């Protein structure tokens, strides 16, 4: 017995020494401990999500909330895992009665992180049938957090579809038109062009690599000539235009102009430009982007490899797609 006590003491002592001397080990252990509830709860409620039996889902989420709430106050280290599981579970809830089951829990979690964009949008979605005013108030909160999140405007559009308040409808239509779209995926990571709302880039192939020439002057709703300086004379090989703003965009290519030493050497008209969106579509000559992370549109131009250019000008009109067909929302 005495030997066992000594062995346990030695193990504990060695473990403490390792933890004290190895910051990386401490980080891994503590991070794993705080993330384990997220994994365990998700595994426990997965069966209920598959069968859409929320009577088996909500008790587990309630337990995770109690754990997070007891761990600490606002924005403690267990809150992100709770919010992640809530979002995954709520994505499965599509019927009115299913969504409203989440309201009591959402309200409690709101106290832990009132500035979470997903939580505000989920609350607005859950309240949309029973309390439109409260739903819109949460959308206003969401706009203060990430004004360009498209989900805000899609939901407001649906909530106000039967409203007789023309001023309010116009307010949300104008808010949608005035906000620039970004590409910040779930507000955790960004796509290739970062989080710039006005960025687009010309992408060219050179020596089996693709290089970017950035332009940060994107303007929605206007016919604009976007200039790309190549930094020397280069062949225009397999060009594409990458947009950091995406989702619900309509892009019209008017023409592409090639320059060399200040002289215009070639113009490709709209009819000569063939478009191949990476994730979007082409409708009546216009590229349609549905990807909120942005769009890369590959371009095929006849005999483009025959030209050496040091500057390109691409004339574009970029518009947001309409959320509805109301006359007052058309611009």
Which residues of the chain fall short of a pLDDT of 70? 1-36, 181-197, 246, 331
The SS3 call for residue 15 is helix
Phi/psi-derived region of residue 262, left when phi > 0, alpha when psi is between -120 and 50, beta in every other case: left
pLDDT given for residue 62 in this prediction: 94
Tokens of 149: 């999140």
The SS3 call for residue 150 is helix
Q: What is the pLDDT of residues 47-65, one digit of tens each?
A: 999 999 999 999 999 999 9
Instruction: Report the candidate in 241, 244, 240, 242 with the shortest Cα–Cα distance to residue 293.
Output: 244
For residues 45 and 67, what is the distance between their CA atoms, to the nearest angstrom? 16
38 neighbors 81 (Cβ within 8 angstroms): yes
151 neighbors 121 (Cβ within 8 angstroms): yes
Distance spanning both ends of the chain, measured CA to CA = 84
For residues 285 and 318, what is the distance between their CA atoms, to the nearest angstrom? 13
Domains of the chain in start order, with CATH, are 2-145 (1.25.40.10), 190-320 (2.60.120)
pLDDT given for residue 308 in this prediction: 92
Alpha-carbon dihedral angle through residues 180, 315, 251, 161, given to the nearest 10 degrees: 50
326 neighbors 169 (Cβ within 8 angstroms): yes
Q: What is the pLDDT of residues 94-126, one digit of tens each?
A: 999 999 999 999 999 999 999 999 999 999 999
pLDDT given for residue 29 in this prediction: 46
DSSP 248: S
Alpha-carbon dihedral angle through residues 316, 320, 324, 330, given to the nearest 10 degrees: -60
pLDDT given for residue 184 in this prediction: 54
């Amino acid at each position: 017995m005495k030997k066992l006590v000594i062995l346990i003491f030695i193990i504990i002592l060695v473990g403490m020494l390792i933890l004290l001397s190895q910051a990386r080990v401490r980080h891994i252990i503590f991070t794993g401990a705080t993330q384990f509830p997220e994994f365990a709860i998700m595994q426990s409620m997965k069966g209920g999500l598959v069968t859409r039996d929320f009577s088996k889902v909500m008790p587990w989420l309630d337990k995770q909330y109690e754990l997070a709430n007891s761990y600490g106050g606002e924005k403690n280290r267990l809150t992100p895992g709770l919010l992640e599981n809530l979002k995954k579970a709520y994505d499965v809830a599509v019927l009115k009665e299913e969504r409203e089951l989440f309201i009591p829990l959402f309200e409690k979690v709101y106290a832990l992180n009132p500035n979470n964009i997903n939580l505000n949008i989920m609350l607005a979605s859950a309240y949309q049938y029973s309390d439109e005013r409260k739903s819109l108030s949460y959308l206003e909160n969401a706009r203060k957090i990430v004004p360009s999140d498209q989900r805000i405007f899609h939901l407001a559009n649906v909530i106000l579809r039967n409203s007789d308040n023309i001023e309010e409808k116009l307010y949300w239509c104008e808010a949608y038109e005035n906000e620039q779209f970004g590409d910040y995926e779930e507000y955790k990571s960004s796509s290739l062009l970062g989080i710039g709302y006005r960025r687009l880039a010309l992408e060219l192939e050179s020596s089996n690599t693709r290089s970017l020439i950035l332009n940060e002057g994107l303007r929605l709703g206007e016919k604009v000539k976007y200039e790309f300086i190549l930094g020397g004379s280069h062949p225009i090989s397999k060009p594409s235009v990458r947009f950091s703003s995406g989702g619900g965009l309509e892009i019209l290519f008017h023409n592409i102009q090639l320059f060399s030493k200040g002289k215009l050497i070639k113009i490709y008209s709209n009819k000569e430009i063939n478009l191949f969106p990476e994730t979007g579509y082409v409708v009546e000559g216009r590229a349609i982007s549905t990807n909120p992370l942005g769009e890369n549109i590959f371009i095929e131009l006849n005999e483009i490899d025959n030209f050496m250019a040091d500057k390109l000008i691409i004339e574009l009109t970029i518009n947001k797609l309409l959320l509805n067909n109301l006359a007052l929302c058309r611009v």
